[in-house]
């Protein structure tokens, strides 16, 4: 019997060795050869030939764009899939790329996440398709965001110059002045919470994207990236300005501990619990769909400033369309991305409430004079466009910002729920980001 | 089995045994073959693949390299891993006894035959187990809400200020509450069915000897269901070490209370899906699997030995 058991084991070992061998074969890495240029003629030919284009995006206005695109090119079918919003979609996309299977032809990728994909050569360079000619069409902020070094890796779809949304009804009720500086903002927060202990100036439980945008506006430049060399430092003067102010709000419990995009959050925006929201210009469409009850209550104001009379702003969010290297139908993919982000699609998307990245549209009278019924007829685009023009220069994200943001709450989040100071939280975030960078083979300077 | 040889063959060619090795009977393999193939591909291959993965490191810069046991060395010194393990161990030490205790009490009550509406109670206590863990956690998550949930309603109605169940200090207990709610019924059913197979003659004998209910429980019922208790304990240990759904869902509601390395399983998930560290994640998973196996085995050995 013992003999048998040993033989059985040997058999099992053999079979598992075989399967192991089979699974191990998938590991060979064939990095893409130098891309061949694709001419406009090639693209036309591909459009005439047709095919099914797989697009992964969560941006709602693309639905109409895809339908229009299909109408214009009857042989092309656009298979628009919502594979999750931001981080969820990146997980799916990374998995598809790692498995070399089911990779979409076009993927929506936010600016802060592009670096990682460009670095790992997961995206096609777009200059060979003729994208470099589009440089003049875009405002410099978004255009720089889709570049890594000299190469263009995506076409900007929208942008998120920041502004302050505020609930005018609440401000009127408690006779509050709309703050123009962050000091005033803190004072307003105190006055409001004193007048109504159930009302808060804003809701925040700590979120990497928001925090980095705040740091950006405050003049902090914590990330310096040069190829594979990275420097992370949250100890500059800008970061100090941010932590000082936000610490006051946290210490006095003036910020509602409500997580963004939850039911509580939407309710809070609707019923006056949350009085302001500082975020990107892509927000209005979300107000219209998510906070219907408060239609007419909200208005838009310029972002509060760190120095009185200043106009510096920052970007929050904003995404692009990119062509994963492993996708198929390259010509169709590029044609679609260009149609949606630089062609006729832009107007369609503006009509549906998107905020464009193309200068001609941003500066057009029609765009600037659009009245938002939700904001009581306010011409909010003027404020957004002005913000777009005043975005602080020289910001860059980490090449692994998606991961860094995923551990924001592990580190900085402590400052929101315990006695940890925000500045110490940032330091912990810095250390964890440095550690990860080193593990991933970056040369990290502290 | 190996000594079995067709007698006819022996008769016809008795003398030379040169190809002795080749003359082994393979008919046994024919029977076990289908099982071995499925077992190898479904059970062994994934483990083998994880072990294979754990010997490499894939970096954003530099690609994949063979690193031998480096990942294991790193994992053994990884504070985040050990903290998560300590957290589930605490959970195990507190929640599992409570859950199994309640389940046992309920099973004994149902089995006592003195309960009115026994079937109703049995079904309703089992019902939470039929609710998918994801749904159960979402449901409890809403109830835990201090702003719009049940907790806030209680606070408003009674003028109290209950502590936030999702705060960092309480969230582990809150998860324990959800898990207990989910699994009391399941464990109760295991105990109850074990109780049902105890021969009634034992009870009658006990009654004749003048034993009370408590005595019956300690002298007959508990010893008789020892096997079921050990099994339920082992299931609970494994379940605890694999805690994932509850923290994963509650994290969306309380991102600062539940870190991305809250439980070992959640840590491997974050490593793999947010951090792209598939190799290291496989390493942590293997170490965790080994630890779980050892603890479950020890419990089984101890539990069974006492029973013998």
With contacts defined as CB-CB under 8 Å, which chain B residues touch A17? 48
Exposed e or buried b for every residue in A251-283, given b needs 16+ CB within 10 A?
A: eeebbbbbbbebebbbbbbbbbbbbbbbbbbbb
Q: Do B257 and A417 touch (CB under 8 A)?
A: yes
Find out whether A46 and A316 touch, Cβ atoms under 8 Å.
no
Domain A40-159+318-363 grouped into CATH 3.40.190.10: yes
Q: Considering the domain B79-307 in this protein, what is its CATH number? A: 1.10.3720.10
DSSP at A206: -
Q: Do A27 and B64 touch (CB under 8 A)?
A: yes
Residue B18: per-residue pLDDT: 54
Q: Do B275 and A406 touch (CB under 8 A)?
A: yes
Over chain A (446 residues), what is each successive 10-residue block's mean pLDDT? 51 49 41 71 90 93 93 94 88 90 95 90 92 89 87 93 96 96 97 95 94 96 91 95 96 92 90 95 88 94 96 93 94 94 92 87 90 94 92 91 94 92 96 95 88
| Region B70-86 average pLDDT | 95
Residue among B134, B166, B145, B135 nearest A263 (CA): B145
Residue B158: per-residue pLDDT: 86
Query: Chain A to chain B, count of Cβ pairs less than 8 Å apart?
Result: 112
**Cα angle for residues A190, A191, A195 (degrees, 5° grid):** 115
Residue A40: per-residue pLDDT: 86
Percent of chain B residues past pLDDT 90, beyond the cut:
69
Q: Do A228 and B61 touch (CB under 8 A)?
A: yes
CB proximity B60 to A under 8 Å: yes
Residue A322: per-residue pLDDT: 96
**Residue-range domain boundaries for chain A:** 40-159+318-363, 162-314+381-445
Q: Do B260 and A410 touch (CB under 8 A)?
A: yes
CB proximity A209 to B under 8 Å: no
**Residue-range domain boundaries for chain B:** 79-307
Count the Cβ atoms, other than its own, within 10 Å of residue A121: 12
Residue among B178, B176, B194 nearest B107 (CA): B194
A residues 67..86 contacting B (CB < 8 A): none
Q: How confident is the model at residue B145 (pLDDT cuts 50, 70, 90)?
A: confident
- The minimal CB distance from A91 to the residues B60, B168, B273 is found for B273
CB proximity B43 to A under 8 Å: no
Residue B149: per-residue pLDDT: 79
Distance separating the N- and C-terminal Cα atoms of chain B: 31
Class at the top of the CATH hierarchy for domain A162-314+381-445: alpha beta
Residue B303: per-residue pLDDT: 81
Which residue on chain A is closest to B45 by alpha carbon? A16
- The minimal CB distance from B61 to the residues A15, A417, A441 is found for A441
Q: Do B276 and A94 touch (CB under 8 A)?
A: yes
């Amino acid at each position: 019997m013992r003999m048998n058991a040993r033989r059985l084991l040997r058999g099992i070992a053999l079979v598992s060795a075989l399967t192991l061998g089979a699974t191990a074969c998938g590991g060979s890495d064939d990095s893409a050869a130098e891309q061949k240029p694709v001419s406009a003629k090639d693209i036309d030919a591909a459009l005439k030939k047709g095919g099914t284009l797989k697009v992964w995006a969560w941006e709602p206005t693309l639905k109409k764009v895809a339908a229009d695109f299909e109408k214009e090119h009857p042989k092309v079918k656009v298979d628009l899939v919502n594979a999750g919003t931001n981080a969820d979609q990146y997980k799916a996309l990374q998995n598809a790329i790692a498995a070399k299977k089911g990779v979409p032809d076009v993927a929506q990728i936010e600016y802060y996440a592009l670096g990682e994909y460009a670095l790992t050569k997961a995206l096609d360079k777009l200059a060979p398709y003729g994208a470099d000619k589009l440089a003049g069409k875009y405002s410099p902020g978004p255009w720089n965001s889709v570049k890594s070094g000299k190469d263009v890796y995506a076409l900007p779809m929208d942008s998120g110059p920041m502004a302050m949304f505020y609930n005018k009804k609440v401000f009127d009720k408690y006779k509050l002045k709309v703050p123009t500086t962050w000091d005033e903002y803190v004072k307003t927060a105190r006055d409001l919470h004193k007048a109504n202990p159930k009302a808060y100036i804003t809701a925040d439980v700590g979120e990497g994207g928001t925090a980095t945008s705040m740091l950006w506006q405050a003049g902090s430049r914590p990330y310096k990236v040069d190829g594979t060399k990275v420097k992370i430092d949250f100890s500059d003067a800008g970061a100090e300005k941010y932590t000082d102010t936000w610490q006051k709000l946290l210490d006095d419990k003036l910020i509602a501990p409500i997580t963004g995009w939850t039911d509580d959050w939407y309710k809070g925006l609707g019923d006056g619990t949350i009085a302001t929201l500082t975020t990107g210009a892509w927000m209005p469409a979300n107000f219209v769909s998510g906070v219907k009850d408060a239609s007419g209550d909200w208005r838009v104001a310029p972002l509060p400033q760190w120095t009185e009379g200043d106009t510096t702003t920052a970007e929050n969010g904003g995404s692009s369309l990119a062509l994963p290297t492993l996708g198929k139908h390259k010509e169709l993919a590029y044609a679609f991305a260009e149609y949606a982000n630089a062609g006729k699609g832009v107007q369609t998307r503006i009509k549906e409430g998107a905020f464009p990245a193309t200068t001609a549209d941003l500066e057009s009278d029609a765009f600037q004079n659009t009245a938002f019924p939700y904001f009581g007829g306010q011409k909010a685009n003027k404020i957004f466009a002005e913000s777009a023009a005043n975005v602080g220069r020289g910001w860059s994200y980490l090449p692994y910002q998606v991961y860094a943001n995923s551990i924001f709450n592990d580190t900085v989040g402590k400052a929101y729920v315990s006695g940890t100071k925000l500045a110490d939280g940032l330091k912990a975030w810095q250390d964890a980001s440095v550690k990860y960078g080193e593990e991933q083979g970056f040369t990290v300077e502290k | 089995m190996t000594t079995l040889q067709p007698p006819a063959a022996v008769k016809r060619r008795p003398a030379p045994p040169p190809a002795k090795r080749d003359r082994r009977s393979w008919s046994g393999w024919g029977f076990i073959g289908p099982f071995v193939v499925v077992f190898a591909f479904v059970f062994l291959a994934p483990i083998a693949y994880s072990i294979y993965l754990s010997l490499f490191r894939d970096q954003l810069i530099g690609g994949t390299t063979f690193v031998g046991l480096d990942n294991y060395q790193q994992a053994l010194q990884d504070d985040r891993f050990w903290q998560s393990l300590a957290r589930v161990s605490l959970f195990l030490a507190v929640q599992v006894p409570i859950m199994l205790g309640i389940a046992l009490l309920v099973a004994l009550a149902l089995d006592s035959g003195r309960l009115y509406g026994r079937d109703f109670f049995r079904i309703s206590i089992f019902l939470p187990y039929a609710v998918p863990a994801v749904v159960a956690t979402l449901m409890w998550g809403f109830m835990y809400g201090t702003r719009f949930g049940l907790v806030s309603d209680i606070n408003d109605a009674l003028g109290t200020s209950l502590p936030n169940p999702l705060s960092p200090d309480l969230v582990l207990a809150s998860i324990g509450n959800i898990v207990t709610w989910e699994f009391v019924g399941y464990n109760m059913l295991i105990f109850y069915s074990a109780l049902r197979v105890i021969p009634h003659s034992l009870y009658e004998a006990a009654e004749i000897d003048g034993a009370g209910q408590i005595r019956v429980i300690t002298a007959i019922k508990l010893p008789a269901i020892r096997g079921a208790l050990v099994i339920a304990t082992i299931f609970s240990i494994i379940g605890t070490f694999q805690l994932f759904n509850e923290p994963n869902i509650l994290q969306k509601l309380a991102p600062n209370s539940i870190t991305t390395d809250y439980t070992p399983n959640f840590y491997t998930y974050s490593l793999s899906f947010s951090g792209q560290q598939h190799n290291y994640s496989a390493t942590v998973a293997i170490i965790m699997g080994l630890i779980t196996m050892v603890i479950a085995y020890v419990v089984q050995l101890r539990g069974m030995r006492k029973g013998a």
